[in-house]
Amino acid sequence: MVDFESSLLHQYVASNMYQRKQPDRASAIMVVTRYLLRRVSSAKLIAASSHLLFRATILAALILIFLFLLHYPPLLLSSSHYSSSSPHSNHRSLLSSGSYGGGYWERDVRRSAAPRRPDGLSVLVTGAAGFVGTHCSLALKRRGDGVVGLDNFNAYYDPALKRSRQALLSSHGVLVLEADINDGALLAKLFDVVPFSHVLHLAAQAGVRYATRNPQSYVASNVAGLVSLFEVAAKHADPQPAVVWASSSSVYGLNTEAPFSEIHRTDRPASLYAATKKAGEAIAHTYNHIYGLSITGLRFFTVYGPWGRPDMAYFSFTKSILSGKPITLFRMPDGTAVQRDFTYIDDVVKGCLGALNTAKKSTGVPGGGKKRGPAQLRVYNLGNTSPVPVAEMVSILEHLLGKKAKKNVVTLPQNGDVPFTHANVSLAKTDFGYRPTTDLATGLRKFVKWYVEYYGVQTPKVVNKDAGEEEKEEEGAAASA
């Protein structure tokens, strides 16, 4: 303290030398006191400013986080927000949460996966509570194969319909687990419990137009989810399963050659949905090349039928016609009709089972080691081969429902839809006997019959008749005329 005070006195003397005054000790003490007070006040001000700056920074960070959540929720939310998956970094495995696992759970999984016929398949079906997934799971179980389903029951369309499909599968002995395909730990556990021979990977974020509103859900499900599945199948499963997965006819994008063939260009997607499916085909090639996974991709063409997706045109048109609401029909700028290669669900199921039946074993080594040799890599069209104008589909629905539609005809917008689809299925026919047999009128009759029964709508007479009965009635009416 003496040294510090002496230093201050020295400064005081130096500052007053020009006045040639001899400082007395009282004046020096006053100088020291004032100096200390100034230092203390300055320290308090700095401390107060620091606290204020810290609080302002925290507030600004909270505001930024709030704005980020407001504008980009799919990046941070889980799969319950309209997506069928979520990235690994944001996903907590259901195993760690205690939702799954344990002796009873493993017993139920094994029971559902056990084939009932000699040389039967044991198949993990992702998206099992979806439209195609439900029908394929039922067909596999009915022929004696073992099936375990996986579905996240997202809210892209009414989850109640998915729950009804789940109940239908349960009544046939198929266990459907509510889980996300990005849950790598759960997938690995499933392969530990059951040595699945095959995977039928149908889980995906569907819909062309919805991608403009929630693009992240497509990347999370169709890209990240596919990688998650391939990672477990290639590096963890023992033995490696053969994988059959759902690509899409949308990969043909702006292709104008018809009918669409597997050798045609697929590098011009017209929608983000199509782009994610095309990316999936490239990813499949990578895992086949590096890890020896046997992989078959199936390009579906506008699948329809009972238990279908409510976002599809035939389904939503049926609902609107019955309720008296207008429907929107698209036409091309030159006035030509929009056409689709409508494919009935039973035909698609036959194609899926044919692909599973002819899928060869993977050649990789569990753990991701060097593969033993080249593995099977295939892609097929599954369509009906007969494009039909959408307006004709509406006419068939009007006849079946006994009610005219209120139509708004507008030009096809630039929202990712393409003017027509037309499948060449000769490759699938050659390799596993794929032959679509259901025409649009017959398929829509079966759909409408299911629709009016499921939703409790008053049943039109025509719906309760099969094709033969209707033809006889029409012949009789013609004869009496």
Angle at 63 between CA 59 and CA 69, to 5 degrees: 145
Segment among 301-315, 325-339, 395-409 with least mean pLDDT? 325-339
Q: How confident is the model at residue 17 (pLDDT cuts 50, 70, 90)?
A: very low
For residue 100, the model assigns a pLDDT of 84
Q: Is the pLDDT of residue 21 over 50?
A: no
Q: Is the pLDDT of residue 238 over 90?
A: yes
Helices 184-193, 226-235: axis angle to 10 degrees equals 40
Q: Which of 31-40, 43-52, 173-182 has the highest mean pLDDT?
A: 173-182
Q: Is the pLDDT of residue 430 over 50?
A: yes
Segment among 67-76, 103-112, 342-351, 412-421 with least mean pLDDT? 67-76
Q: Is the pLDDT of residue 219 over 50?
A: yes
Q: How confident is the model at residue 367 (pLDDT cuts 50, 70, 90)?
A: confident
For residue 64, the model assigns a pLDDT of 47
Query: pTM score, two decimals?
Result: 0.78
- Please write the tens of the pLDDT for every residue from 384-400: 999 999 999 999 999 99
The stretch 214-221 carries a mean pLDDT of 95
The stretch 398-405 carries a mean pLDDT of 95
Listing DSSP states for 399-465 in one string gives HHHTSPPPEEEEEPPSSS--S---B--HHHHHHH-------HHHHHHHHHHHHHHHTTPPPPGGGGS
For residue 22, the model assigns a pLDDT of 45
Record the tokens describing residue 65, joined without a space: 């986080």
- Please write the tens of the pLDDT for every residue from 69-126: 444 443 333 333 333 333 333 456 788 777 788 899 999 999 999 999 999 999 999 9
For residue 359, the model assigns a pLDDT of 98
- Of the chain, the percentage scoring pLDDT greater than 90 comes to 65
Q: What Cα–Cα distance (Å) separates residue 350 from each residue in 31, 123, 184, 315, 345?
A: 99, 16, 30, 22, 9
The stretch 161-188 carries a mean pLDDT of 97
Contact at 8 Å (CB) between 346 and 382?
A: no
324: left (phi over 0), alpha (psi -120 to 50) or beta: left
End-to-end Cα separation, the chain, in angstroms: 126
For residue 30, the model assigns a pLDDT of 60
Q: How confident is the model at residue 295 (pLDDT cuts 50, 70, 90)?
A: very high
Q: How confident is the model at residue 269 (pLDDT cuts 50, 70, 90)?
A: very high
Q: What is the CA radius of gyration of the chain?
A: 33
The stretch 448-459 carries a mean pLDDT of 91
Q: Which helix (H) or strand (E) holds 303?
A: strand 303-304
Listing DSSP states for 110-175 in one string gives HHHH--SSTT--EEEEETTTSHHHHHHHHHHHHTT-EEEEEE---SSS-HHHHHHHHHHHHHTT-E
Q: How confident is the model at residue 32 (pLDDT cuts 50, 70, 90)?
A: very low
Q: Is the pLDDT of residue 48 over 90?
A: no
Going by C-beta distance under 8 Å and a sequence separation of 6 or more, which residues neighbour residue 44?
A: none
For residue 170, the model assigns a pLDDT of 98
Q: How confident is the model at residue 271 (pLDDT cuts 50, 70, 90)?
A: very high
Active site amino acids? 273
For residue 107, how many other CB atoms are within 10 A of its CB?
11
Q: Is the pLDDT of residue 470 over 50?
A: no
Position with higher pLDDT, 453 vs 85: 453
